Structure 1
Amino acid sequence: MTNVYDEQDYPYAVRHWTHPTQLGALSQLMGRPAAPFQDCRVLEIGAGDGVNLASMAIGAPRAEFIGVDLSERAVAAGRELTTAAGVANLRLVCGDLRDFAGEPQSFDYIIAHGVYAWAPKIVQDAVMALCGRLLSPRGVAMISYNALPGCRLRQGLRDMLLSAVAGIAEPERKIAAARATASFYAEQWSASDNAFRKALALEARDFLGRPDGLIFHDELGEIYDPQLFSTVVAAARAHGLDYLCDNDPSLVGHALWESELWSQSLPLTGGDQIAYEQALDFVETRFFRRSLFCRAGAPLERRFAPERLSGLYLEAPLEPFLDASVAAGEFAFKTAGKGEVSTRDQAFGVAMRRLGEAYPRALAIDEIAAEPAARSALLRLFAGNMARLATEPFPVGRQPGEKPFANPLARAQARLGLGSVTTYRHSQVALEGDDTRRFLDLLDGTRTIDDLTRAMSGEAEESRTRAQVEAALATFAMWGLTRA
């Protein structure tokens, strides 16, 4: 059995927002405590080579993970990688999701990323039916899709690209022709004062920055079916599912706190959350959604409640400003995206300082914020994409330990010569050079820093090599490549 995904590789990746610890945290915020990560069952539809699931499986050896994908090539590559990494609690299945059998209500988390809007209606129905049949009573299903109205613009560019590549069968030539076409039109549109052309120019330039695999499968694929949010919610309801919230932090914020737009839109929405979020998509011309669903029946309480943060964890790369520009009594921090956040609230400021000092380790919200106002402010860090929220912390810290132990999946990826490797934080980092990959592979928990220095020194002075080893270990620890 072969298909288009066997002709051209798709750039499978670890996506931090698919991790059950985040999905479970969002479910808890909405009044639906989810299954604990360490003892859950996870199904990923369209899992590809399974790297996303493998990264999860490394962190929860008692849990069970199953990935389904049509591509024999991707599944074979995934099996090779997981065998090399010693991942025993992940099974990759090559086959059609419509043929996948499973016990009813047996999966606590179901992930379908990059499938729904790129599949025919019969497969879309099968995704919803599978979620409706297999999702457990405490389960969370995440379904991502290209959204309307934003993707109307993308469809316009797609029409032009498909016209340009018509009759070209070879993937490499098709991608090259599409890139050349997008580059030509971007140049023409950029010179115009017309707002629509300028918007198309931005979309074309964004297109040019995507990997070849994404261009071939997503933008030039046979099926491209962007969805209205309300249409997807209706399809889910037909299979016994309720909309929980979106897995976009900014949309989580709109669910938790009433905004000015909520009040302004009441004549149109009548205060209904689904109608409001659909109106929000129109206002913001949304391009993409990662909608979360749960089993229908139990009540949902979407507005912020401080007590629902109990038991949850937050991590945030916050760096304090230490110069004279910070006024007395003010707490000011730089964020990962070169943003800034400041406050005069003592409880919130101290909590942010502790988060920054602990990073990359997550801290229990119960330990750093007791007051409702401070808890609300911390959660707004997540809503502003300045922090990550989870039901449990990842096993990372600033120090790599006496005998550093790196993520087994990352070490297997290094041995296979891959350019990026997976961290314990469910993210990916790029590695440059064979020496760096060889060094990472040495971190199997059996070697001290002295041992590592001797292994890497070669002809170099050991004192200089030791400094390099210690610097590399500090970097790896901050990335989350090593266990604390």
Structure 2
Amino acid sequence: MTNVYDEQDYPYAVRHWTHPTRLGALSQLMGRLAAPFRDCRVLEIGAGDGVNLASMAIGAPRAQFIGVDLSERAIAAGRELTAAAGVSNLRLDCADLRDFEAEPQSFDYIIAHGVYAWAPKIVQDAVMALCGRLLSPRGVAMISYNALPGCRLRQALRDLLLSAVAGIAEPERRIAAARATASFYAEQWSASDNAFRKALALEARDFLGRPDGLIFHDELGEIYDPQLFSTVVAAARAHGLDYLCDNDPSLVGHALWESEQWGQSLPLTGGDQIAYEQALDFVETRFFRRSLFCRAGAPLERRFAPERLSGLYLEAQLEPFMDASVSEGEYAFKTAGMGEVSTRDALFGAAMRRLGEAYPRALAIDEIAAEPAARSALLRLFAGNMARLATEPFPVGRQPGEKPFANPLARAQARLGLGSVTSYRHSQVALEGDDTRRFLDLLDGTRTVDDLTRAMSGAAEESRTRAQVKAALATFAMWGLTRA
């Protein structure tokens, strides 16, 4: 039987928020120590070509990783890539998740991204049953899904697009017809003063910015079944799982600290966290969730406790600045997203400065913040999506070393001519040009700067090439492509 994922490629990628060091850190914040990454067992459902797992496997050679997907084409591509990268602790299986067998409670982390809300009810039940059966006592399962009420708007656009592509089977023509339809209506709706049409116009323009593979499989797919958060939590409970928290930093913040909204919602929620987060979804018209689950019965303490940050690491790209907007005694920083954060607290300011100077290396929170107030402030950087939180640091730093060694997976991707490669920070890095990819592949830990200069010189002036090599190495180090 033909699989639609074999007909049209899907844009598989690493997703930093699926990494076990992130999932384990969130579990620890909620009062549960998770399994250490270096020795864990990880299962990804709907793994595609396995690049997400391969990136993890590179960083934990003693751990074991298994990916399951229905697409023979994606699994074959993944096996080729991992073989080229020398990844030996990852197994990719082309199989139906309903047929997957393993020892009970044998996986410390289970990831199901992009599966649950795009599958029939029988498969949704199978995902929950598998997590309930295979998750270890200290395990964390992450299940992502389209959420209500936000996806009601997307459903309206989807209904229109499906009508426009009815009868078109060939993927390229189907995608082109959907793009043309969305473009036409986006222009029409944008000219209106009607609030609903304006919202549809924004949704249509967002649709037009998505890659073809995502449009074909997600937006025009046969099944699109957005869920209420409370419905997913109930389905998990039926299989012996408790809701831990969401992977979204802002929702983590709502779990850790009682906000003004928490107090205002008490007459509706009775102080129940599940009811409160469901109310938040309605308030914020949330359209996507990345919910974390653990085995039922484990103690959960969601409110902030400074001691739970012990052993955790924080990474943040922060650049101090001073201009007319910064008053005397204020510590101000630019963030990676060109936002700003400032404080008058000297301890917090010093901690942020150290984080910025160390980036891309993560720092132990214990080393930069001992006081509860400073620890809380640092954690709010994460809740504000200005920092990454982890149980272990990635092996990166600003200095690439005497003989630079780039991520083996990234080098394999460069050899295959891919435009995007994977960093040690479990992120995607776009590379432009064959020379850039060739240079990256040379970084196998055997060459000095002089060796690299000679290899890249060609007819160019060697002194200029040496400067370019050094600049490229510095950039690669900041991107996390080279090991410190």
> TM-score band (shorter)?
over 0.9
Partner of 1:472: 472
Unaligned runs of 5+ in 1: none
* C-alpha displacement of 1:328: 2.4
Deviation (angstroms), 1:324: 5.6
Tell me the secondary structure at the aligned position of residue 447 of structure 1. Answer: coil
CA deviation vs aligned residue, 1:280-329 (integer Å, no higher than 9, x gap): 00000000000000000011000000000000000000000044653322
SS of the aligned residue for 2:123 comes to helix
Cα distance in 1, alignment partners of residues 248 and 141 from structure 2:
14
Query: How far apart, CA to CA, are the structure 2 residues paired with 1:327 and 1:358?
Result: 25
Which residue in the other structure is 1:436 paired with?
Answer: 436
Is the 1:230–1:274 Cα contact (8 Å) retained in structure 2?
Answer: yes
Secondary structure at the counterpart of residue 67 of structure 1? strand
Secondary structure at 1:161's aligned position in 2? Answer: helix
Q: In 1, distance between residues paired with 2:265 and 2:170? A: 49
Distance 1:386 1:20 in 2: 19
SS in 2 for 1:27: helix
CA distance in 1, matches of 2:216, 2:29: 38
Q: 2:271 & 2:356 partners in 1: Cα distance?
A: 38
Deviations along 1:178-235, one digit per CA (max 9) or x if unpaired, are: 0000000000000000000000000000000000000000000000000000000000
Measure the CA separation in 2 of the matches of 1:328 and 1:180.
54
Secondary structure in structure 1 of the residue aligned to 2:261? helix
Distance of 1:366 and 1:79 partners within structure 2? 40
Q: Which residue number corresponds to residue 128 of structure 2?
A: 128
1-structure distance, mates of 2:325, 2:20: 41
Identical positions, percent? 94
CA shift digits 1:444-472 (9 cap, x unpaired): 00000000000000011110000000000
SS of residue paired to 1:204: helix
Write out aligned runs for 1:13-412 (5 A): 13-323=13-323, 325-412=325-412
* Deviation (angstroms), 1:330: 1.2
Q: TM-score, normalised by structure 1?
A: 0.99
- Cα deviation for residue 358 of structure 1 reads 0.2
Contact 1:318–1:335, Cα closer than 8 Å, also in 2 = yes
User: Using the alignment, how far apart are the partners of 2:460 and 2:151 within structure 1?
Assistant: 55
Which deviates more, 458-467 or 322-331?
322-331
Q: Is the 8 A contact 1:2 1:71 kept in 2?
A: no
Deviations 1:217-254 (A, max 9, x none): 00000000000000000000000000000000000000
Over residues 40-70 of structure 1, what are the superposed CA-to-partner deviations in whole Å (9 max), with x where a residue is unaligned?
0000000000000000000000000000000
In the alignment, structure 2 segments of 5+ residues that lack a partner are: none
- Partner deviation per Cα, 1:233-279 (whole Å, 9 max, x = no partner): 00000000000000000000000000111101101100000000000
Distance 2:359 2:282 in 1: 37
After superposition, the C-alpha distances for 1:344-380 in whole angstroms (9 at most, x for unaligned) are 0011000000000000000000000000000000000
SS of 2:67 mapped into structure 1: strand
**RMSD of equivalent CA atoms:** 0.6
Cα distance in structure 1, aligned partners of 2:480 and 2:41: 24
Q: Match of 1:403, SS?
A: coil
TM-score (norm 2): 0.99
- State the Cα distance separating 1:149 from its structure 2 match: 0.2
Tell me how far 1:154 sits from its aligned partner.
0.2
Deviations 1:377-409 (CA, angstroms, capped at 9, x unpaired): 000000000000000000000000000000000
SS in 2 for 1:341: strand
Deviations 1:17-40 (A, max 9, x none): 000000000000000110000000
Number of equivalenced pairs: 484
- Deviations 1:78-124, CA, capped at 9 Å, x for gaps: 00000000000000000100000000000000000000000000000
For 1:128, what is the secondary structure of its paired residue?
helix
Cα distance between partner residues in 1 of 2:420 and 2:53: 16
Structure 1 residue matching 2:78: 3-state secondary structure: helix
Q: Distance in 2 between matches of 1:450 and 1:428?
A: 28
8 A contact 1:2–1:72 mirrored in 2: no
